[in-house]
Amino acid sequence: MATQSEEMDHETALRLFEEGGTLVFLNVPVGTEFGIDYNIWNVGEKFKGVKMIPPGMHFVHYSATSSYGIAPRTGFFHYFKGKEVVVKKWDKLNEEMSSEVASSEEVDRIRMDLRNLDKNLAPYPYSSLKKWVSLTNYISEDVAAKLQPASGLIASASQLVSDDPTRTTKDRASLRSKQQNINDAGPSQENLPNMHCKPGTEINFSCIPKDTHPPNATPDKITKYGMDSSYRLETFVSSNYKGHINGILAEIQFVFICFIVGHVYDAFEQWKNLVHLMCTSEEAMSNQEQLFENFISLLHFQLKEIPSDFFVDIVSRSNFLTITLQRLFSNIEEGSNMSTMLKQKAKKFKANLTKKFKWDFDLEPDDEAPVVVEL
């Protein structure tokens, strides 16, 4: 006899089979590392995609494999609608997903043939959905379209091109020959081309305002907003998200996924900058309490996915997160206009972090300690 939970799983499976989206990914080489959201597989001979994808935002990613190892990860965000069929193909020449867009006729033909394809489609692991939704619930289709590169693909390894596209192969060969003749002087950088990211391949991170205070601000306002980032936060939201305050939460989630799942280090830098902007916006905490309650919940779910020793190498050398979160907790605890609910939520979050990471948020940061002058 089936238990209630098993019955629910069966009902969910039937619903997703009828209403879920389908990703058909053709001609992917055997052994390729393929994933959707937090789920990763190595492609077998029969693989042709994933079925029963719950409607909503998802991140599809892959890494080509060869005798030399695994290539850097590449992926893309896509908001799957109910019963939507997305068709992608593998480009064997470039060993990546083809940029060619499937025609509507081809998509319709594959949709009509889904029953025959069914045995070659892996079911979406529904057990991981709850965790995925907690990490992406603010990312809308519009936000993903705004932030994704023009190419539509997010690559962990930057695609670099030369600033001087007119330099010919013969020129470069001549330069290499000259370089080989320079033995005593050491390597020279004069003839090496300047490299930059290929246009259309960069994530469109939102610009964080540099101006800390409003125009014509009084001296006391300049001093206030020099320590309080609320003006910069307001400017960020109005200039990048047309005043929709949850836009910053969406971008924090977007760049977190790009880093944790997509392996893009630049996304981690943007995540740090946005988290710092939020944590140092003292005035906004009393004016936008719901925003900061949501922000604490968002950070709670993100930091749950990070191993306890993760920040030792990446963050703790500069104590970025401990100092930044210390500002957040201090601003909320000492704020006279903060609600009891926000204070309690921050207190509970602080206790959880102390338990998991062994961070002491009550210890005075080195940069705020008294300066001892030798006489």
Q: What is the pLDDT of residue 172?
A: 43
Q: In the chain, which residues fall in CATH 1.25.40.550?
A: 219-365
- Burial of residue 88, with CB atoms counted within 10 A of its CB: 0-12 exposed, 13-18 middle, 19 or more buried: buried
- Among 67, 83, 76, 65, smallest CA distance to 21 is for 83
Total Cβ atoms within 10 A of residue 177: 9
Map tokens 């009828």 to a residue: 18
Count, residues in the chain: 375
The CATH label, of 3.40.1030.10, 3.30.70.870, 2.60.34.20, 2.40.420.20, for the domain at 17-132 is 2.60.34.20
Rounded to a whole number of angstroms, the distance between the first and last alpha carbons of the chain is: 83
Number of H helices, E strands in the chain: 15, 14
DSSP string, 259-322: HHTT--HHHHHHHHHHHHHHHT-HHHHHH-HHHHHHHHHHHHHHHHTS-TTHHHHHTTTTTHHH
Q: What is the pLDDT of residue 301?
A: 96
Residues paired with 24 in a beta bridge: 49, 87
Q: What is the pLDDT of residue 369?
A: 47
Q: In the chain, which residues fall in CATH 2.60.34.20?
A: 17-132
φ, ψ (nearest 5 deg) of residue 170: -65, -40
- Among 54, 59, 60, smallest CA distance to 253 is for 59
Residues 6+ apart with CB under 8 A from 363: none
CA distances from 355 to 304, 349, 359 (A): 12, 10, 8
Query: Are the C-beta atoms of 41 and 122 separated by less than 8 Å?
Result: yes
What is the C-alpha separation between 195 and 172, in angstroms, rounded? 14
What is the C-alpha separation between 27 and 65, in angstroms, rounded? 14
Beta-strand pair 96-97/121-123? unpaired
- Buried/exposed 353-372: b ≥16 CB within 10 Å, e otherwise: beeebebebeeeeeeeeeee
Q: Which two tokens stand for residue 162?
A: 């030369």
Q: What are the start-end ranges of the H helices in the chain?
A: 4-19, 104-112, 114-117, 129-136, 141-147, 169-180, 219-227, 230-241, 247-260, 265-279, 282-287, 289-304, 310-314, 320-334, 340-357
Longest pairwise C-alpha distance within the chain: 85
Phi-psi region of 229 (alpha: psi -120 to 50; beta: other; left: phi over 0): alpha
Total Cβ atoms within 10 A of residue 43: 19
Q: What is the pLDDT of residue 225?
A: 92
CATH assignment of 219-365? 1.25.40.550
- Among 185, 190, 243, 234, smallest CA distance to 209 is for 234
* Cα dihedral sign, 327-333-338-343: positive
Map tokens 């020279």 to a residue: 188
Q: What is the pLDDT of residue 183?
A: 47
Whole-prediction pTM: 0.85
Q: What is the pLDDT of residue 167?
A: 52
Q: What is the pLDDT of residue 176?
A: 46
The tens place of each residue's pLDDT in the chain, 375 residues long, gives: 333 333 446 777 778 778 899 999 999 999 999 999 999 999 999 999 999 999 999 999 999 988 788 899 999 999 999 999 999 999 998 888 998 889 999 999 999 999 999 999 999 998 899 999 999 999 999 999 999 999 999 999 877 676 665 554 444 445 445 445 544 455 555 556 676 677 788 999 999 999 999 998 899 999 999 999 999 999 999 999 998 999 999 999 999 999 999 999 999 999 999 999 999 999 999 999 999 999 999 999 999 988 766 665 554 445 678 889 999 999 999 987 889 999 999 999 999 988 888 777 876 655 554 444 444
Q: What is the pLDDT of residue 57?
A: 97
Query: Are the C-beta atoms of 339 and 293 separated by less than 8 Å?
Result: no
